[in-house]
Amino acid sequence: MKRLLLLNGPNINMLGKRENDIYGEFTLQDVEENLTNLLNEHGYELDSQQSNHEGSLVDFLQQANGKYEGIIFNPAAYTHTSIALRDCIKAMETPVIEVHISNVHNREAFRHQSMLAPVCYGQIVGFGLLSYRLAAHAFLEKNGEE
Ligand code: DQA
């Protein structure tokens, strides 16, 4: 079966307990269940990983390379800082879509900055839980599944 990886960075495990006006009331488990259902309908499986550590995220990406149709990645705060994640994604063959729940372009100035967007297959921001679903649809479309 074809597979996508959902990868989430620091504090995304705290969804539901973070600022609801910015991040919504849904939890990471809600995201995982929602995406799993969507992908199963299209004959895909979802694996899911979350880490608060930059190096662990690099490890997950390296281990996932070549094993997935695509990676839906919310790097959270590391998007604004991480050269290590950028170098990793740049060297990968598996496409990565950068996802953010909030509209990072309308927030504090430093959040406008994405280290990762230039090396990602795409970037989706500002649609809450729907941001993740849009990324899944982009991979399904890329593979001619819809
Ligand atoms: C976030 C945006 C980041 O700026 C922030 O540090 C996060 C969440 C988002 O999904 O909106 O933790 O990645």
Q: Is the Cβ atom of 111 under 6 angstroms away from ligand 1?
A: yes
For the stretch 24-82, pLDDT in tens is 999 999 999 999 999 999 999 999 999 999 999 999 999 999 999 999 999 999 999 99
For the stretch 8-27, pLDDT in tens is 999 999 999 999 999 999 99
User: pTM of this prediction?
Assistant: 0.97
Cα 29 to Cα 41: distance, rounded to the nearest angstrom = 18
Q: Is 53 a catalytic residue?
A: no
Q: Is the Cβ atom of 18 under 6 angstroms away from ligand 1?
A: no
Domain map (residue ranges) of the chain: 2-100+110-142
Cα 84 to Cα 128: distance, rounded to the nearest angstrom = 26
Closest ligand 1 atom, CA of 103?
A: 11
Question: With respect to CATH, is domain 2-100+110-142 assigned 3.40.50.9100?
Answer: yes
